Amino acid sequence: MAPMGIAGLCEPDGRLSQRAIDYYVARAKGNTGLIITCVARVGRQFEHSSEIPLLFHPMVDHRMYVCRLSELADAVHDYGVKLVIQLTAGWGRVSHPWLLKTVEPVAPSRLPCFWDPQIETRELTIREIEDLIESFKFGAEVVSSAGIDAIELHAHEGYLFDQFQTAIWNRRNDKYGGSLENRLTFALEIIEAIKKGAGVDFPVI
């Protein structure tokens, strides 16, 4: 089962609700072999507003989330199903219009936003990139502690991972930009961070 958004099925604090668990268990009962959850966020440094509830994404930035994730993992494992959680670095220049009203969008470089080109992103600093990468390490610890089988990186379709990898959006001249090798540094360092947090043999898709 490919990842699909389950807006409204998360608690306001970022925990999976019982309705969310039931949603995935229903798919497990239907003989799905592997389930990839909706996207989960590793932190609140960016693209987060106290004015907007966290109803759209589960969170993995605190150990309080282990319990509910464990319930999900145990429930689908009972049907012989493998469970993968999808983690995101964020939206970047494709931040949703409702978010642009209250939050400054960030990206690898200063870029016009997709939904409103009159709004430009702010270029992430090296320190901010490093902090974001470190968040994946802790998030991976939470995920592996919950008994989840693998992590998928939300790296498609123009989101922040893709923006770092693509020269048309990544105009940096430091170690995270320029050559293809440098543009892949962000993703590779996140994979390394996940392996530190969850173990070197932990699968990353």
- Which whole-number Å values give the CA distances from 140 to 44, 125, 190, in the listed order? 16, 23, 10
Both tokens of 168, joined, read: 């048309």
Please give the backbone phi and psi of residue 81, each rounded to the nearest 5 degrees, phi first: -100, 140
d(CA 166, CA 168): 6
Instruction: Determine phi and psi for 118, rounding to 5 degrees.
Output: -75, -15
For residues 195 and 170, what is the distance between their CA atoms, to the nearest angstrom?
A: 25
Residue ranges in the chain assigned as alpha helix (H): 18-29, 66-77, 97-100, 126-145, 160-165, 180-183, 185-198
Q: How many helices (H) and strands (E) does the chain have?
A: 7, 5
Residue among 6, 13, 68, 12 at smallest CA distance from 37:
6
Catalytic machinery residues = 159
